[in-house]
Structures are given as C-alpha cells and as structure tokens.
Structure 1
Amino acid sequence: MIDLRRLHVLRAVSHYGTVTAAARALHFTPSAASQQIRQLARDLGVDLLEPQGRGVRLTPAAESLLAHADAIQAQWEQAEIDLRADRGAPSGVLRVTGFPVAVSVLLAPLASRLAERHPRLSVRITEAGVPESFDLLFEGEADLAVVESTPHSPPMSDKRFDQQPLLDDPFDLVVPDAHPLAGRDRVDLAEAACEPWIAPVEQSPCRRHVLSACGAAGFTPDVVHHARDWDVTAHLVAHRLGVALIPRLAHLTPDLPITRIRCAGNPHRKLLTCTRGAGHARPAVAAALHELRELALTAVA
C-alpha cells in the first residue's frame, strides 16, 4: 500500500525542483523529506531519485508514479465536489490569487460581485506573482488564480492544473503628451525605434513581451531605464525620459501628461484562469469563473 503522505512529498519535489525547496514548502527539514522519499522507494522496490550533478532528479519510475499520483489527486478533488454537490448555492471560503494588475482590475471587483450575489461565500485575495500563484494552487492554499501566460509556466497539458484563456491584454505605446506621435490613433512601433525606452525589469514576465514586440517591428529598443511597477514606468514617461509599452489593463495615475497609443500588430499578453485539476467544477469556483468571464468582456475596451 502506497503511503499518500510520502507520495505528496515526491509530488512536491517534482513541482519545486529540489528536495530542499519541497521540504521548505511542506515545512519539513530536507533530511525528513529525503527520508520520506527513501521509505517510499523501499515500499515500492524501485529507485525514485538519482544523482544529477550536486542535486538529484526523478527516475523514470518516479515520473511514471507521478502520473498516477496526479490522477489520484484529481480524483480526490472530484470526490469532494461530488460530496458537496447537494449543498446548494456557493458558500464557504474561496481563496483567489493573482499578480498586481489582475488583483486591481479583476479580482477586487470579482470579490465585490460575489459578496453581493452569494452572501454565504467569503472571498480571500492574495497578491502573488505567476510562479507563486502556481505554488499556492499546488499547495492547496488557493482555489483559483489569474495568471499571465509565460514560457516558464506549467504546460497546458499538465493535469495538475486546469488553465483556460481569460482575455488578451493589449500593449499600448505610452509617450509624453508633447511627443510627435501623441496625436496618432495608431502607431507602428518601428516609428519609435530611435527613442530611449523604459522597459520592465529582468524578472518581469512582461519584459519578454516588450522586447518581442519591438523585435517584430524590426528593432532592438535602447532601454535606458527599468521599472517593476507600471505606474512608475508612466511617471518616467511623464518626465520625458523615454517611451514605453504598457498593458491596457494597467491603471495609471490620473492626469499624468502622457498619451496611450494603440499599436499596429496588436502586441498583447494572454491572461489565464487556473485551478487545481477538477477544481473548476466546485460551485464557488464555477461562480467566480462566470463572474471573471463577464468582467473580462469589458476590461480592455
């Protein structure tokens, strides 16, 4: 008989990439986490980890076992949904998470709508980056996340998560009001090729979008300033320190002397909803997903 607690430790190692990171997430010591996996390997009579450089990696046997483990987790989720199916309207606590813009524009109004329409449902919001949102879902600390699609996110085929498209968030070129392009309804980014640029910091998922959009227009931007927050970027533009691409969903300080201009080619980022496995079928999550789709219809108008 497989000890499901030990199996969960192995799942955590796969998700976080190292025994140390998995142990930290599970509030174990690394030695205790390693002991759990060694005992699971002895129970099954197979090797689950093998050396790789200074670390370890999962063996083919471990990968095969995890495919079954993810299916078991999804079945437990579905069993819980089935047991609660006759309890009527959404109720209890719904834990949602998302990156800052998603919280401001989507999750805050979502919580307000759900409070009005489902008074027995209590929404708890946690601001978190994209990787942290997936971690919270995996750990069972969140029920629903709004994330940005990135090359480093789990693939859509990962059965641990159900990821669904929510909306495309276009990038606008933002320039000072006095800029020659400010009077245009739409602009080709190549017309800003010789401008100084303000770009997201290296760690931001949006940096790739900005550089890719400029590359598609045929140039590499001369990035002279870096910012983590979109409003900080807008203030740098307002002081005529450069131009920038800023997502339309980002709310900026009112009355700044800046102009947003739509871009030819429609550069954009994709926002997704994400739940654990079958978690989207839970009444509370289903209600939240319905409201999010409604909010998405007008979010970038």
Structure 2
Amino acid sequence: MQDIRLRDANVITQRYMDSILFKERLIDSVKADISMTFLGERFSMPIFMPAFSHLGNMGGRELTGLEEYSIAAKEMNVLNFVGMMENDMFERIIRTGAKTVRIVKPYADNAKVRDQLKFAEDCGAFAVGMDIDHIFGEKGYDICVGEEMAAQTSDMIRSYIEASGLPFVIKGVLSVEDAVKCADLGAKAIIVSHHHGRLPYAVPPMMMLPDIKKALEGRGVEIIVDCGIESGADVYKSLALGADAAAIGRAMMPSLGKDGVQGVIDLFTSIGDELRYVMSFTGFADTEKIDSSALIFTNNY
C-alpha cells in the first residue's frame, strides 16, 4: 500500500492555505488601499521582505542578493528584514537606506548575540529581534555556518529586550503559549513561522493566527506571518486570519536571482496588485479592516 502520510510541513501548509476560498461582496465596494502602519511607520503594503541570510552575489552582479532586495525594499517603502550575518554586512545593508529589522540567531555565544543587537541599534536599524526556531538540530543543538546555537530562556530574551532601545521582534512563534510569553517579555512584534518546515508535521502558521491574535488582543504586539506566502491572495488570507503583515520568502528567490532589484520590485508590485484586487472583490477598503468574514473554510487538505 502506498504511503500517503504527510510529514513535510511545507506541503501541509500549502494545502491548508489553498483550502480557504473567498466570497464575493461587490455592492458598495471600492478600489482598496493596501498601505498600512507597522510599529508606528507607514509602509506601502503589508508585504515584507524575508529575514534571509548568506545570499552572495547573484547572476554575476556586483551587489549581494541581500543588498539587492534591501534596495528594492527602500524603493518600494516596504519593511526590510535580514538574518544571520556579520556586522560589516549589516552595515552595508543599512547603507541601502531601507528600514531594516535585524534578526539575530540564538548563538551559544551570548556575547555575540548582544554585540550584534547593539551594533544594529547603533547602526540605525528600524528594529531588532531574534530567531528562536533555529535552536535545535536532529542530534542536539544546531550548528549553522560553524556557529553553535543554544536554547534561549525567558530571562535571556527579556534581558535582550530591556537592553535595546528599539522594538524587539521574535521570529519562530508557532503556539499561543510562546506568543503570550513574547508579550510578557516585552516583544513588540512576532513572526508566526515554522521556518520552512524545520519541525515535521508542524501546524501551518496561518492556522495558528486566529488563536494567537485572540490571545494577544490588547497587548500591543503586532503579528507577521511567513511560510509559503506567494501571492496577493495568500497575503489577504493572512490578514483576514489575524496577521498585520506577511513576509515573502523563498517565492522571491527566482525573481531576485534573475533580475535583482527590478525582479523583486516587479514581484512585490504584482503581489500587491492581487492583494488590492481581492480586497476590492470582497468589500474591504483598507488593510486594517480585513477580517475573516469573506473566507470559506473547505477543510479539504
């Protein structure tokens, strides 16, 4: 008998996302506005860059992929995120002029965590944060590019947040329990994510949004979601289920690799256009008003 069990969280996530359908609500609808406010700043769309790491020069071009998508973020007024890198590379990212959030890995070297967070703040980062779902590998603590990771306690994370003068973002939240802890510790935003399926059978991030949104109501914590977001329809579903914004990840790589800055701009423009289209078709004039009332859940996944 063929084994049809699903283990890959990315497949589970995609099937769940595609099982959600839309109702049309056209009477009295208007052309939607997709701009939004996040952590007190106005952005052109609720579609953010991913916290990528280790992107070198692509397509034979002079700039690294990290710099190219950061330039695109600046030109589009989209919030930029970057991941694991040394301080000199982060300084190059800041020179692009993009409003950038630096997500630091949970290094076993605690001094390195603190140094990178402080450097980002001194360099002009928009916000800082930590990736908490890159701690474990199958045989223990993970080692990424020669750097050992370590478990992060509540006290450790609170100390990072209290030491920073910037909003703190925690990436890799996939439960109400962790979301509430983030709020208790003083985080200003979370990224609901399973980090491209690091945990087998991980629940789709989008499925967790309603419960997390409810648990954080009135706590002043903004919510981003990622994993499998590829289209304006995906972004719309994210917002309708409780996110304030969605991040485009691996879906950006072909456009970035082929056409660099312009490829990213063209992709985000297309995704934003589809988001506006779906919002207009379902009766929502602006992103802050989107809710789940136009969603149909088929449970066909």
Relative to the length of structure 1, the TM-score reads 0.22
Relative to the length of structure 2, the TM-score reads 0.22
| Higher strand residue share | 1
State which structure, 1 or 2, has the greater radius of gyration over its C-alpha atoms. Answer: 1
Higher relative contact order (CA 8 A, sep 6+): 2
